[in-house]
Chains A and B, each alone.
Chain A
């Protein structure tokens, strides 16, 4: 009855235009906020439930660089066979990486590779979307195909430092 008096009393009918819209605005604001909050909450739950562990995704992507003949993998010209895990030093450059990993924006993982070996000079290259952001680094032992010399085909062992960021 108190409310009725406040909102609908004959004497105070002017409140109908004054308080009701304020009430609706407050409720609308609250409901919108509640809707957005719960939507975001539910969506992030769904997303996290389906999330692929980051290391799985990066491992798959790193495998592309090491195994694919379009990336760093050494290919025997005569047989056309690609040797996964053997890095062709002639392919270890930004141009090659751009061809095999055409990621230009920050939505994709970006990588930087540094090749270290006692037998060759330090070399590095990175994907086109590499930027000045926080990154993680791992290392991996690799074989490096250096090319044909008078002694035959030369392969050195080395370490590949892989930095990744998203």
Chain B
């Protein structure tokens, strides 16, 4: 008789999606995405140190459609991870745990990150100068 599989604890797909868990997952996801941005940042800096020719090449890579898609993603990831990180630090200090506060700060973080990302990239694409 084959051994019976051990019981496992319920995983993600069993639970109803809620704001708390969704934003927590998004925090980790954006953090991982930003970590992947670190090599890109180094690449860009190294190309700058290498002179105008290598910098031009790197700028071409970063402003290609795929490059711009990554930059848009990193913009949102940065803003969300920063804002939600402050939210986490606020919790760490012992504040903001009431249901209404959690929901309000959660919505604020998501909408602010989305709004700022859209605004910034519309500004860049439409050639608005600050």
Question: Does A associate with B in a complex?
Answer: no
B residues apposed to A, CB below 8 Å: none
